[in-house]
Amino acid sequence: MFEKHDAEHPGKFEGGGLVDVQGGFGWSNGVVLDLICRYQIVQKSRTMSPLLLLVAVVSVLSRVSGETQQSCDSKVFCQGNLLHTVQMAQIYNDSKSFVDLKMLHDEATTLRNFEVFFNDTNRNPTREEVRKFVSENFVDYKEFEDWIPPDFTDSPRFLSRIQDEEVKNFAQAIVNIWPTLARKMKQEVLDTPEYFTLIPVEHGFVVPGGRFREFYYWDSYWIIKGLLLNEMYDTVRGMLDNFLSLVDRYGFVPNGSRIYYLNRSQPPLLCLMISLYIQETNDTTWLANNIKLIDKELRFWLDHRVIDVPKDGVVYRMAHYACESGTPRPESYSEDVYTASYFKDEAEKTQLYADLKSAAESGFDFSSRWIINENGTNIGNLSLLHTRKIIPVDLNSFLCQAFVKISEFYVILHDFENARFWFEQANLLKKAIKEVFYNDEDGIWYDWNVELGQQRDYFYPSNFAPLWSGVYDLADAEILGGRAAKYLVDHCITDYDGGIPTSVVQSGEQWDFPAAWPPLQSIVILGLDQSGNCFAKNISRQLAQKWVTANIIGFNATGTMYEKYDALVPGQYGGGGEYGVQAGFGWTNGVVLELINLVLLVKVTLSECNNPIFCQGDLLRVIQMAGIFKDSKTFVDMSLVSTVDWTLRQFDIMMAKTQGSPTKNDVIEFVQNNFQPSHNELENWFPTDYQVSPPFLRKIKNVKVRNIAKHLLDLWPNLGRKIKPEVQQMPFKYSIIPIPNGFIVPGGRFREFYYWDSYWIIKGLLICDMKHTVKGMLDNFFKVVDMHGFIPNGGRIYYLDRSQPPLLTMMVADFVEVSNDVLWLKKNIKYLEKELKFWLTLKTIQIEKDGKTYHMARYRSLSDTPRPESYIEDIHTASRYRTEEEKRHCYTNIRTGAESGWDFSARWFFDKQGGNRGDLSSINPIRIIPVDLNAFLCRSFLIMHSFYTKFRNKERANYWLQKAKEWQRGIKDLLYNEEDGIWYDFDIELRIQRKHFYPSNFAPLWTGTYDPKDTVKLGTNATSYLHKYEIMKYVGGIPTSMVETGEQWDLPNAWAPLQAIIIFGLEKTEVPEAQELAKKLSDRWLQSLIKVTEDTHEFFEKYNAQLHGMYGGGGEYEVQTGFGWTNGVLLELIDHFFVKKKQEDL
Residues catalogued as catalytic = 365, 563
For residues 250, 253, 258, 263, the Cα torsion angle rounded to the nearest 10 degrees is -70
Q: Please give the helix or strand (H or E) that residue 141 lies within, else none.
A: none
CA-based nearest residue to 315, from 63, 40, 24: 40
Task: Quickly list DSSP for 858-876.
Answer: -------S--GGGHHHHHH
Q: How far apart are CA 202 and CA 185, in angstroms?
A: 8
Q: At what angle do helices 703-718 and 1124-1133 cross, to 10 degrees?
A: 150
Cβ–Cβ < 8 Å for 171, 596 = yes
Phi, psi of 719 (to 5 degrees): -105, 5
- What residue type is 299 in one-letter code? R
CA-based nearest residue to 493, from 382, 383, 412, 568: 568
Phi, psi of 1111 (to 5 degrees): -75, 165
| Phi/psi-derived region of residue 660, left when phi > 0, alpha when psi is between -120 and 50, beta in every other case | left
Q: How far apart are CA 207 and CA 178, in angstroms?
A: 9
Q: How far apart are CA 818 and CA 822, in angstroms?
A: 11
Q: How far apart are CA 1 and CA 22, in angstroms?
A: 8
A 10 A CB-CB count for 344 gives 7
Please, what's the b/e burial string for 353-362 (b: 16 or more CB within 10 A of its CB; e: otherwise)? bbbbbbbbbb
Cβ–Cβ < 8 Å for 536, 528 = yes
- Which residues in 18-174 belong to E strands, given as ranges? 102-103, 138-139, 144-146
Cβ–Cβ < 8 Å for 1093, 1030 = no
Cβ–Cβ < 8 Å for 480, 643 = no
CA-based nearest residue to 624, from 675, 586, 691, 697: 675
C-alpha dist (Å) from residue 558 to 346, 551, 555: 46, 11, 5
DSSP 371: B
Q: Which spans in 323-443 are helix H?
A: 333-340, 346-362, 393-412, 416-432
Cβ–Cβ < 8 Å for 664, 690 = no
Cα-based angle 829, 758, 494 (whole degrees, multiple of 5): 40
**Percentage helix, strand, coil, to 5, in the chain?**
55, 10, 35
| DSSP-based three-state secondary structure for 643 | coil
Residues 6 or more apart in contact with residue 373 via CB below 8 angstroms: 379, 380, 384
Q: Which long-range contacts (CB under 8 A, 24 or more apart) does 338-347 make?
A: 339/381, 339/382, 339/383, 340/383, 342/381, 342/383, 343/383
Q: How far apart are CA 948 and CA 955, in angstroms?
A: 8
Q: How far apart are CA 304 and CA 322, in angstroms?
A: 8
Phi, psi of 514 (to 5 degrees): -100, 20
- What residue type is 1015 in one-letter code? T
Cβ–Cβ < 8 Å for 10, 303 = yes
C-alpha dist (Å) from residue 462 to 302, 444, 504: 21, 10, 13
Phi, psi of 915 (to 5 degrees): -80, -175
The partner residues of 720 in beta bridges, in order of sequence, read 744
